[in-house]
Amino acid sequence: MIKYMRSYLYRQLEPGVWESGLSPLNKTIAVLIVLASIIAILETEVIVRSLSPGFFYYAELLFIILFSVEYMTRLFIAGEQPKYSGFNGRIRFLFSRWSLIDLVAILPFILTLGGTNLVVVRLLKFLRLIRLLRLGPMGEAWSLMEEAITRRKYELILSFGVAGFLLIFSAALIYLAESTVQPEEFGSIPRSLWWAVATLTTVGYGDVAPITVTGRIFAGFSAAAGIGIVAMPTGILAAAFSDAFQRRQRK
Amino acid sequence: MIKYMRSYLYRQLEPGVWESGLSPLNKTIAVLIVLASIIAILETEVIVRSLSPGFFYYAELLFIILFSVEYMTRLFIAGEQPKYSGFNGRIRFLFSRWSLIDLVAILPFILTLGGTNLVVVRLLKFLRLIRLLRLGPMGEAWSLMEEAITRRKYELILSFGVAGFLLIFSAALIYLAESTVQPEEFGSIPRSLWWAVATLTTVGYGDVAPITVTGRIFAGFSAAAGIGIVAMPTGILAAAFSDAFQRRQRK
Amino acid sequence: MIKYMRSYLYRQLEPGVWESGLSPLNKTIAVLIVLASIIAILETEVIVRSLSPGFFYYAELLFIILFSVEYMTRLFIAGEQPKYSGFNGRIRFLFSRWSLIDLVAILPFILTLGGTNLVVVRLLKFLRLIRLLRLGPMGEAWSLMEEAITRRKYELILSFGVAGFLLIFSAALIYLAESTVQPEEFGSIPRSLWWAVATLTTVGYGDVAPITVTGRIFAGFSAAAGIGIVAMPTGILAAAFSDAFQRRQRK
Amino acid sequence: MIKYMRSYLYRQLEPGVWESGLSPLNKTIAVLIVLASIIAILETEVIVRSLSPGFFYYAELLFIILFSVEYMTRLFIAGEQPKYSGFNGRIRFLFSRWSLIDLVAILPFILTLGGTNLVVVRLLKFLRLIRLLRLGPMGEAWSLMEEAITRRKYELILSFGVAGFLLIFSAALIYLAESTVQPEEFGSIPRSLWWAVATLTTVGYGDVAPITVTGRIFAGFSAAAGIGIVAMPTGILAAAFSDAFQRRQRK
């Protein structure tokens, strides 16, 4: 009886075992993860929380129970796989990659019941969605994008390296031009980096901006370099995707 | 006599029946839609409206009459198609997709005669242009872009999903760093989302910006991630267009 | 003697007749155009002009004489081409495309001697550079880019059309959300367009920004749509250039 | 004995001689260059420097000694290559490209011992990393990117030329519209360039923005042109990378 139940739950819970795509149970879990995250997000807002502090407390309690039950069940069904069967197998399972992520996703939840300070850790629950996304209708797209990026990882790292160098160089130049005029904002290279990041990524908040003529000329060149910093990885990704699509078609 | 007129109007009004491109009557309607929209837009500005309140009132009245006549005529000529002939056919026609869009395009017009509060609904008239655009000289380009996007829809959805995750994560990190210093703007994750959207899309209004060192470091990484968020869909679209162009050439 | 001189000047002045690239005389003219433009730009700045008002007056006088002489010479040598020979041919030459551009480039110069108000018209001189650029080392690159853009002009126009529609729609939505709170900036759709342009192009000045929750949600979607507006033409151009490069290689 | 040591050091120090990738000694030097740069950057910040002025003084002294020793050693081992052997060969070596860069990287270091004003020159040390990067695991990616860019250099230069023209034209138009209203910021074309750069690169600081209706209409077109300025080089790079990837695969 227990054996049959374990086998049934294994087929439902273990991603990749269900015939096609996501099993109904895993779909439900995916929805629960999203819901729990939305509640964790909304809870940080005082106005929303004050509407019904009880609701958030009990909602969290519910999610903790649900995800704990799920975690226990995963531990229980792990025995279906030979490598995780037996006591030693279970220990090995506890330290397997996805199992640790599952744990990280419940632990802070339990520790911070009713508090909001560990919200970022709680959002790590999202990582669990990746495992499920790979099986759903997006599976093919996911692996294609993964392939495109990993095949061109050196080019991408290199273009980020060049971007990093330009970042430091821009910060150094603007520091030379503006440090005496705006010491609070451009008084050192580390300080100037804030402006340099905003400029080179073309975000341009405008809370800090050069006011000297030299500073503005340097800034102009930095902004122009920013186009290159956007164009470089975009071009690499475009070529990588083009490549990956064609490889698929040939098969 | 009526039969001949119906057949003549059918050829003129029904998009796709005219030999090549857009019939003269449909071209006129396209121009009228654009004109009516421009007037609806200008009318929202008090300075413009006060120049001649009468003009806008009568212009609207004229457009309502014209588009109502057009709507009636479309209902009348629908009988040319076997599936819409007879009374039941006409009822079916009334609830067909484009017929509903046509209705949505006149109704608010009639309801808000002289008022400006439903201006967004009135701009839905633009949707009718899509139907006509597909027949004109842009028809080929339209279908090519539609094909490129639909063939890579999963990759595009996925890259928007990743963007959404980064959005929430950035908002959570900046909330941790800045909530105590700028509670009004970063006091909760929902509040921080406004900054996160502006940063990750590289818009960067600058009305809200981190001021702590940790906040600025997180912001720098968010801005860098913003480049990825722009680069990802651009790369996918570039590869998709490249693919679509080549498929056309092979034919 | 005159015939020989005309033939010599024709080979020097007429772009495309010189064996390879740009003739020495045309190179000199290109440099003069750039110089005259730089002086026209610098002259608008009071601080620079006050350094030496005489310099700018005489520099302009010199350029007017030089370009007038060039214009006369072009008229004189036009006779080398059968279609422009004789009096009627010269009249035809005067109204040919490049001849009119040459005229537009000197006329405002003469009319505004010493003034700066027609500076934009004077910058039209730059257009003359295009004619010369096509012959220099950039010639191949120029024609390749021209080919890529013209072959995909419908797709590019369409993507600008979609951008235009999103622009109006964003402006209409933000107008609904913010018109009562910030009537000065979002009090009508035409007013809201300023914000919509800055957001959809991801420029984001931040001089105008929504402050209501609804306004910020609409703004978030507009900013996300802005990524699409950048990604669309970039993707089309990437595919078009890829196509054009390959067509060259096949030849 | 000296001969053997020279040969050993030559194999360790000369990039490209070591069997595969980077020799252990060159890896150490790469790390030292990065460390020395980080210290040079941090030293500009008063708060950091005041923590321990002595540390920075002695750290710099150490780096000067290390890099000087390295420089001397390079000079010593240059004799291993026939073209740099002998006294005249060494002189030739001193004026070879990489040797000059090495010198530029130590000289300011020595000159500004304990000062921070030549920080930009000191960051030129980074240039030395390029030489080492080409041998490491990034070597292939580096040469691929170099190839893609150099093969399309004319197209890239041309697109920057067009961007430059649009920059001047935008500045001229905004100058016409805004010079009387905001003379401080738009009173001349050179002044307006600051706004034009921020707009066309889509950085958009917002410290300067047009306020007249005409100015805003011109600004809208400039911002739209900004999309083209980003799209153009991105499209060229995407096509160039696509081309370079395919050429590699064919081999």
Contact D234 B234 (CB under 8 A): yes
pLDDT value at position A113? 56
Kindly report, residue by residue over D93-147, the tens digit of the pLDDT.
888 888 888 887 777 666 665 455 566 666 777 777 777 777 777 788 898 999 9
pLDDT digits (tens, 9 = 90+) for C73-108: 988 888 888 888 888 888 888 888 888 888 877 776
ipTM: 0.89
Chain A contact present for B154, CB below 8 A: yes
Taking the domains of chain D in order of start, what are their residue ranges? 2-137, 150-250
- What is the Cα–Cα distance from B237 to C234, expressed in whole angstroms? 8
User: Are C202 and A202 in contact (CB < 8 Å)?
Assistant: yes
Predicted local confidence at residue D220, as pLDDT: 95
State in Å, rounded, how far the first CA of chain A is from the last one. 45
| pLDDT value at D239 more than 90 | yes
In B, which residues are within 8 Å of D238 by CB distance? Answer: 235, 238
Which C residues, 186 through 205, put their C-beta within 8 Å of a C-beta on chain B? 187-191, 198-199, 202-205
Enumerate the residues of chain A whose CB falls inside 8 A of the CB of residue C206: 205-206
The pTM of the full predicted model, rounded to 2 decimals, is 0.90
pLDDT at B6: 87
Does A242 reach chain B within 8 Å, measured CB to CB?
Answer: yes
Which SS3 state, helix, strand or coil, does residue B81 take? coil
Please, what is the average pLDDT of chain C?
Answer: 86
> What is the average per-residue pLDDT within D241-250?
89
| Residues of chain B with C-beta less than 8 angstroms from the C-beta of A155 | none
Contacts of D159 in chain C (CB under 8 A): 145
The Cα-based distances of C231 to A225, B201, D50, D232 in angstroms read 19, 12, 47, 11
Q: pLDDT tens digits for B163-203?
A: 999 999 999 999 989 988 999 999 999 999 999 999 999 99
User: CA C20 to CA C245: how far, in whole Å?
Assistant: 23
Architecture of domain C2-137: Up-down Bundle (1.20)
For the stretch A6-18, pLDDT in tens is 888 888 888 777 7
What are the pLDDT digits (tens) for B99-149?
888 887 777 666 665 455 566 666 777 777 877 777 777 788 898 999 999
What average pLDDT does the segment C123-142 reach? Answer: 78
Contact A174, A182 (CB under 8 A): no
CA distance D144 to chain C (A): 17
| Residues 6+ positions from C126 with CB-CB distance below 8 Å | C33, C37, D165, D168, D169
Query: Do C150-250 and C2-137 have the same topology in CATH?
Result: no
Contacts of D226 in chain C (CB under 8 A): 201, 203
Region C172-183 average pLDDT: 91
C-chain CB neighbours of B207 within 8 Å are: 206, 209
D200, D204, D210, D211 alpha-carbon torsion, rounded to 10°: 150
Question: What are the residue ranges of helices labelled H in C112-212?
Answer: 119-122, 125-133, 139-151, 153-178, 183-186, 189-200
Q: How far is C152 from chain A (nearest CA, A)?
A: 18
CA A225, D168, D222 angle in degrees (round to 5)?
75
Closest residue on chain C to B144 (Cα): C155
pLDDT value at position B156?
Answer: 94
Return phi, psi of residue D169, to 5°. -65, -45
Give the mean model confidence (pLDDT) for residues A223-239: 93
- Residue D129 exposure: Cα atoms within 13 Å on the Cβ side: 17
D199 with C203: Cβ contact below 8 A = yes
Whether residues A189 and D141 touch (CB distance < 8 A) is answered with no
Output the pLDDT for position B211: 93
Calculate how close chain A gets to B202, using CA atoms only, in Å. 4
Residue D134 pLDDT = 75
pLDDT at A181 over 90: yes
CATH 1.10.287.70 fits D150-250, yes or no: yes
| Chain D closest-CA separation from residue B242 CA (Å) | 10
